[in-house]
Amino acid sequence: MTTENFISKNIQANFTTGSVSWQSPSNIALVKYWGKYGEQLPKNTSISFTLSNCHTKTKLHYTPSNTHKFEFEVYLDGQRAESFEPKILKFFERIEVYMPFLKQFKFRIETGNSFPHSSGIASSASGMSALALCLMSLERLTNSDITDEYFYAKASFLARLGSGSACRSIQGPLVVWGEHPVLPGSSQLIGTTLPFEIHDNFKDYCDTILLVDQGEKVVSSTVGHDLMHNHPFAEQRFNQANQNFEAILEVLKTGDFDKFISIVESEALSLHAMMMTSEPYFLLMKPNTLSIIHKIWEFRRETSSKICFTLDAGANVHVLYPNAEKEEVSRFIENELAVFCENGKYIHDVVGIGAKVLL
Ligand code: DP6
C-alpha cells in the first residue's frame, strides 16, 4: 500500500448539492503515539481502544462552486467557529492531492461534540475522523465503484493527515497504527483492526474519564511531538513502545490482566516522562492526577480489582476496568475519586466499534 492508492480516480463530474453526516468516536491509546516524521507518519506503532460515548457528530453540506478556491465555513454547536478554520484549511491543503475535487465545492461544516468543549478531552481524533468520513461519503457519490474496504482505509488515511491519532477512530474495538513486523497488514498510513479475536477479558472494557483539569491543553500535540526531535531518550522510547506493542498483542490474546495493567500504566508514565525530560520540559500532571493514581494503586492492592489508569498529554485520568467490575469500580470512583475532579465531573465510556453514518 502506498500513498498513490489513495488518489481519487474515476470521478464523474455530476456534482450536486446535498449533505452527509457521520458520528465518530474518540479513542484512548494503550501504547502511545508520541513522535512523528514526514507527512504525519508515526515513529512507533500504537494501539488504542475505540470509545463510544465521547464522539463528534459532523454534517457536511456541499454545493458545487467554480471559484477554484477552498471555500468553507465551520460551525460548532450552531455557532460560526472561525478559530477552527485555519486548521481545516491546512487539512484541505494537505489532502487536496488525494481529493482533487475539493475546490469544486463550497462547504458548510456543522460539528458538535458529545463531551463539553472545555473538558480537556481532545476533539481532534473524533473531529478529524468524522470530517474524513463525510468527505469519503462525498467521494463515493462521485464514484460508485468504491468498496467498503477502500472507503474505510481512505477515511483513516485522510483522518491521519488531519491528526495522527484520528486514523485510529474510524473502526474498533482496537486499532493499530504504524507498521510492526509482528503484525502483517499493519501500516504507517492507516489504522487497522486486529486480525484475531481478542480474549473475552478485554471485551466491552470500560473507560471512565476523570476531568481533573478542564482547561485548554498546556502543550498542544504539535508542540509535544516536536519535542521528540533531538530528545535525548527518543530512540529508547520508540523501541520501548514497539516492544510494548508486541507484548500487548500477546496479552490481548491470552487475557493476562496483570501484564495488561503493567504495560498500560508504564506507557502512560513514559509518555509523561518524555515531556518531563524534553527541552523545554513540561509537567502535565496536576496534584490531583497523582492523588488519583495513588488511590487506584491502593484500591488494587486492597481488592482483587483489575482497574488501571492511563493518561493523555494532559492532567485528566482515564480509568480502565473490565465490564464485570463496573458496579464496584463505579462506586469507588463516585466515593473516592470524584473529589479530585474539577467540579466533581467525570464521563463513563465503554469500548465501541467505531464511526457510524447518520441519516
Ligand atoms: C498523547 O494525534 O493529537 O494522545 O498528529 O499532531 O494531531 P497530531 O497529534 P495527536 O497526538 C496524540 C498523542 C496522544 C497519544 C495517542 O493518542 O497515541
- In tens, the pLDDT along 143-202 reads 888 999 999 999 999 999 999 999 999 999 999 999 999 999 999 999 999 999 999 999
Whole-number Å distance, alpha carbon 36 to ligand 1 midpoint, is 10
Do residues 313 and 321 make contact, with C-beta atoms less than 8 angstroms apart? no
Residue 271, pLDDT above cutoff 90: yes
Whole-number Å distance, alpha carbon 143 to ligand 1 midpoint, is 32
Residue list, ligand 1 pocket, CB within 6 Å: 29, 32-34, 40, 46, 122, 124, 163-165, 221-222, 225, 271, 312-313
Neighbours of 322 (CB within 10 A): 20
Residue 122, pLDDT above cutoff 80: no
| pLDDT score at 234 | 98
| pLDDT score at 13 | 66
Task: Report d(CA 129, CA 58) in Å as an integer.
Answer: 10
The HSE-up count of residue 142 (CA atoms within 13 Å, CB side) is 22
Residue 138, pLDDT above cutoff 70: yes
Percent of the chain with pLDDT over 90: 91
Write the DSSP string, 72-132. EEEEETTEE-GGGHHHHHHHHHHHTTT-TTGGGEEEEEEEEESS-TTSS---HHHHHHHHH
Give 83's pLDDT tier (boundaries 50, 70, 90).
very high
Write the DSSP string, 174-218. EEEES-BTTBTT--SSSEEE-SSPPPGGGTT-EEEEE-S--S--S
Q: What pLDDT digit, counting tens, does each position of 224-262 carry?
A: 999 999 999 999 999 999 999 999 999 999 999 999 999
Which residue reads 502535565 in cell numbers? 284
Q: What pLDDT digit, counting tens, does each position of 299-329 carry?
A: 999 999 999 999 999 999 999 999 999 999 9
Ligand 1 mutation target, pool 30, 128, 221, most atoms within 8 A of CB:
221
